[in-house]
Structure 1
Amino acid sequence: MNRGIYPILSGALAHERRMQVFANNMANVNTAGFKQDEQTFKAVFPKVQLAIPAIPGTVSLANQIVAKPFGPTERVYAAPNTVKTTYDAGRIRLTGNPLDLAIQGRGFLEVKTPQGTRFTRNGMLSLDNQRRLVTNLGYPVMGTKGELKIPVGKMDISNQGEIRVDGNPIGTIKVMDFPDTNMPQKYAEGMFVSDKGFPAKAPQIQAGHIEDSNVNSIGEMVKMIEGMRGYESAQKLIQTLDRMAETAIQELGRVA
């Protein structure tokens, strides 16, 4: 088999991995607070064997003759590196539900889960049977002084996250921010995880609104088409090399 197939194969697998990420972005185009991802890759160079040993006399003359020459190899392989998340804000959409919250600018809601503290931009909230303010998955949303329990009455949420019921203050929604170099990482169920958070300065919250996903559906479709074409090109090139090897074997058989 032609060893040149392997670098091409690594490129085909890279395109496949990218399309998986794009497909996940497309599947969450209507998920509130979702942040799109981008798969990054790195180049892998095979190790190069020196033609001349570091200590003369330690390698036989035959091994020196068949050793690869000093210098860079001609083959480069693509390998997955990291998945980069884009934290740009999505479109703010009016819902009219007073329990829906959208954070303008930076910040995340802090949520208490069985696995520990998590963060989210999905502000589709509701009240559970204990009248706690919870996410769409039933996890309590934290205030500056703990869980937020909303008594019966007319509720208002200010732009700073202060909750009032019949004019009486109940608590303030906790909004956490993170350094640009230590943004939270995606965990599961639309949640993020990090231990580098700090209370956001002057957070801006819009009640009755939701932040949509920041996925550009048209852009993701274009990327998927490009990835599919790249995958098909790699596949055709592998088939061409395979046919070349087959033809060479057949011709060699005729000469022999």
Structure 2
Amino acid sequence: MIRGLYTSALGMLATQTQSEVIGDNIANVRTPGYKEELASNRAFDSILTDRIDSGNVGSEVTPIGSMVTGVSVDRGSVSNAQGALQKTDLKTDLALTSPGYFVVKTPQGERYTRNGHFKLNANGMLQTPDGYAVQGQKGSIGPLSPDFSVTADGTVNDKGQVVDRLRIVDIPETALTREGQSLYSSSQAVQGSANPQVLQGSIEASNVDLSGQMVQMMTVMKAYEANQKVIQTQDEMLSKAVNDVGKI
């Protein structure tokens, strides 16, 4: 019975974590390049259980099997599904229509993003709205004039000259760690994309399925309430076992 209390409580904590993930996804449904965060349940590691037999000579331990004490939530992986393309006609807006991520330079090192809503700073350097320099094969891209162009393979041209080529890398979704809304770091070495496809004048919208997230939220809420009722029932049974059975 006590084990049941712990199991149900862990179930409530798991559904709470799931609701937080869903809430983050819904809050970023309009964030360009945002990738839906995924959360999956997993059982805690099973533990071996023994029966202790007490006797006059000593005590013997008899293995009786294993048990699982509850469930937890793994979060952090993201969905790499393509988001819808939104046409803006801005030269600085770039969208990836193929797998991969843009590379930007931050004070913490290189980070990766699908959010191609870029801008030119006062010196003509291509950067994110937060001021992180967009990286090319030669380093930070620029200076550029307002009339620069980007071809489908990521080559940046300005005033009839090739300036650089965008660095676009492939990263498995399991290796991504979210930092903020649309920046990611990678837990493993990244590799350049073999065949990147870039569309200038458009941005990729969030790939969050709002209706699907609402359905998941309802499912999680029902699971939370179910675990809550189980705890209440077990608490009442435990109370009767202590207070009523003991009087017999």
> Do they superpose with TM above 0.5?
yes
**Residue matched to 2:220:** 227
Larger deviation: 203-212 or 152-161?
A: 152-161
Question: Which one has a bigger Cα radius of gyration?
Answer: 1
**Residue matched to 2:125:** 132
**Residue matched to 2:86:** 93
What stretches of structure 1 of length at least 5 have no aligned partner? Answer: 53-58
Establish whether residue 20 from structure 1 lines up as the match of residue 14 from structure 2: no
Q: Percent identity?
A: 29
Establish whether residue 49 from structure 1 lines up as the match of residue 25 from structure 2: no
- Structure-2 separation of matches of 1:15 and 1:123: 33
Q: Residues 211 and 50 from structure 1, CA distance in 2 versus in 1: closer, same or farther, beyond 3 angstroms?
A: same
- Structure-1 separation of matches of 2:228 and 2:216: 18
Kept in 2, the 8 Å contact 1:182–1:196? The answer is: no
- Structure-1 separation of matches of 2:230 and 2:162: 68
Deviation, 1:209, is 0.5
Which of 83, 100, 114 lines up with 2:76 in the alignment? 83
Q: Residues 3 and 153 from structure 1, CA distance in 2 versus in 1: closer, same or farther, beyond 3 angstroms?
A: closer
**Residue matched to 2:163:** 170
Alignment of 1:62-73 (within 5 A): 63-64=59-60, 70-73=64-67
- Structure-2 separation of matches of 1:2 and 1:213: 44
Instruction: Give the AA of the match of 1:40.
Output: S
Instruction: Give the AA of the match of 2:112.
Output: F
State the aligned residue count.
Answer: 246
**Residue matched to 1:56:** none
Alignment of 1:28-43 (within 5 A): 28-43=28-43
- Structure-1 separation of matches of 2:230 and 2:152: 58
What is the RMSD of the two structures over their aligned residues, measured on CA atoms? 2.5
**Residue matched to 1:202:** 195
Alignment of 1:114-129 (within 5 A): 114-129=107-122
**Residue matched to 1:55:** none
- Structure-1 separation of matches of 2:8 and 2:162: 63
If each structure's strand is expressed as a fraction of its own residues, which one has the higher value? 2
Q: Residues 50 and 252 from structure 1, CA distance in 2 versus in 1: closer, same or farther, beyond 3 angstroms?
A: closer
- Structure-1 separation of matches of 2:146 and 2:43: 60
Q: Which runs of 4+ in 1 moved over 6 A?
A: none
Deviation, 1:182, is 6.4
What TM-score results when the alignment is normalised by the length of structure 1? 0.86
SS at match of 1:47: strand
Deviation, 1:187, is 3.1
What stretches of structure 2 of length at least 5 have no aligned partner? Answer: none
- Structure-1 separation of matches of 2:155 and 2:41: 44
Deviation, 1:190, is 1.9
Kept in 2, the 8 Å contact 1:119–1:193? The answer is: yes
- Structure-1 separation of matches of 2:83 and 2:65: 48
Establish whether residue 150 from structure 1 lines up as the match of residue 161 from structure 2: no
Deviation, 1:135, is 0.7
**Residue matched to 2:178:** 186
Deviation, 1:143, is 1.2
- Structure-2 separation of matches of 1:236 and 1:181: 37
Deviation, 1:77, is 1.2
- Structure-1 separation of matches of 2:133 and 2:173: 28
**Residue matched to 1:113:** 106
Deviation, 1:148, is 1.2
Deviations 1:169-210 (A, max 9, x none): 2222221223x4864332335211224222222311000111
